[in-house]
Structure 1
Amino acid sequence: MTVTVPPAGSPTALREARVPEGGMYEGPRTLRRLPEGWQEQPYRHVELVPQGCTIGAEVRGIDLSRPLGPALREELNRALLEWKVLFFRAQHLTSAQQRDFARNWGELETNPLLARGAGEDVVRFDKGGDATPTFENVWHADVTFRERPALGAVLQLREVPPSGGDTMWADMAAAYDNLPRDVKDRIDGATAVHDFIPGFARFYGPEKLAPFQDAFPPVEHPVVRTHPETGRRLLFVNTSFTTRITGMQREESDSVLRFLFQQAHVPEYQVRFRWQPGDVAFWDNRATQHYAVNDYGSHHRVAERVAVVGDRPY
């Protein structure tokens, strides 16, 4: 789907395409789900039910506890590239089955900074009640402080609060597409520093973080990365881990990053998922950011996540 934008410089464009202070757009946006030249094909092994305009689809007619054949794996990968986050209802996977499903996309990642579930490559999020509070309710992409940030992640909700606890995802291809030309000119070809400390300092004190500084030194990634499978250009900075744009004065870097961070907040780029126990989400971490809504108070929300090692962004 494409929303037509008036010609640049026309009175309509000046009126409708204004970007107020703070970076939130007014007026029509380009909402393009597929890369240019992408040949859309029917799905033969599963049914897809779109949940958003450019991002998010529920996949029906599949049991993730069973091994994937080559044709089914290829179709799911195409669905992931086209929709960026996939939802599977009522799967109720064991941790081993969740890992087996994720391994169809590559080597699994471990994260020593987060609590483990059943196995070193399973992260467990036990929130609410007497659990230690954490702060995933910020727009972010996972582990961009690594040289090879995660390709994607498979998250399953094991315990769901009676209300609240949704997760939201934002399409960072749409975010890039709609940047003003002058902003694109400033950031195309630029790199930014990503550091684990700002994101995890919200959880832990300096004594907890110090042992990991040698393992996770700051890294640089492109501000705009190219998706390795679709060729799509993607905005690749996030509030949790991106600290500055290389080569810019601090004041200018902070100003540009504030504007770029704000793009994930645009509702037209988002999809929101209401969980039920046993539901699974699989998202492309290269192309999205996500936000865990913390609105369930003292009720428990228990999730387990498995992540797949990614490539070096370019």
Structure 2
Amino acid sequence: MEDVVTLEGVSKTFRGFRLEDVTFSIKKGFITGFIGPNGSGKTTTIKLIMDLLHPDAGTVRLFGHSDPRSRQKAKDRIGFVYAEPPFYDELTVDQTKTVVASFYSRWDERLYRHYRNQFELPGDRKIKALSTGMKMKLSIALALSHHAELILLDEPTSGLDPIVRREILDVLAELIQDEGKAIFFSTHITTDLERIADYMIFIHRGRILYNGEKDRLLEQYRLVKGPREILNPETREKLIGIRETGVGFEALAPNDALPALGSRVLAEPPSLEDIMLYTVKGEPHA
């Protein structure tokens, strides 16, 4: 599997925050999900990939290259979708397309019209008259219309209704059938990633906590519920993010901890959201 993006030991320090020793790759032919709470370093990481920030240490490679000139050329091979598309309100949909198309050597007008029609985007309507969902559809149509090999998505489904979200996810799932492309999907809506992601990267407080197959991450844990009386120093040590109530407790448990909890607990498969929330809750605060 070819790595489209590789970060090796990447660090970046700001006042009050440090991205530390970040190492992962984005593989061609797969959708890689990127999750973490707000302020965990997701946007900083994306800016480092896009060469909008420069690392204090470590190496960022795009399509196998790390030198500035090659990375600048590589941007022609990337489609980027912002959480809030930076469009001019007074331009129409097609005028916006004309502006964007001028930046890409492989712009495909036929492909743009395909996505415009699929998303039912009115070419003569001004940006200011579009709904949030229509603006996001336009942003994705533009990102996909120049044969980009890497699609970077920064919270593309945030604030969208379920119908529009599903429509966008279906397009991404269809797109990745082309094994020559890679999708990097940063979002806090983990249910979207459960539906389409192959790999997951979990970042918290500037550190990578998990980097691997999505299914393997989901299989490592169980969400457990049980009576408070089984909580003792030994069992507490094995559980993650314990939430106690008047009648019992809930927590995340690694699979190898289940035998020690006995038969009085109910163990269920967790969601990605469960894993993220309980892990963050269970981590010591500085």
| TM-score after normalising by structure 2 | 0.27
Greater relative contact order (Cα 8 A, min sep 6): structure 1 or 2? 1
| TM-score after normalising by structure 1 | 0.25
Q: Select the structure that is richer in helix.
A: 2
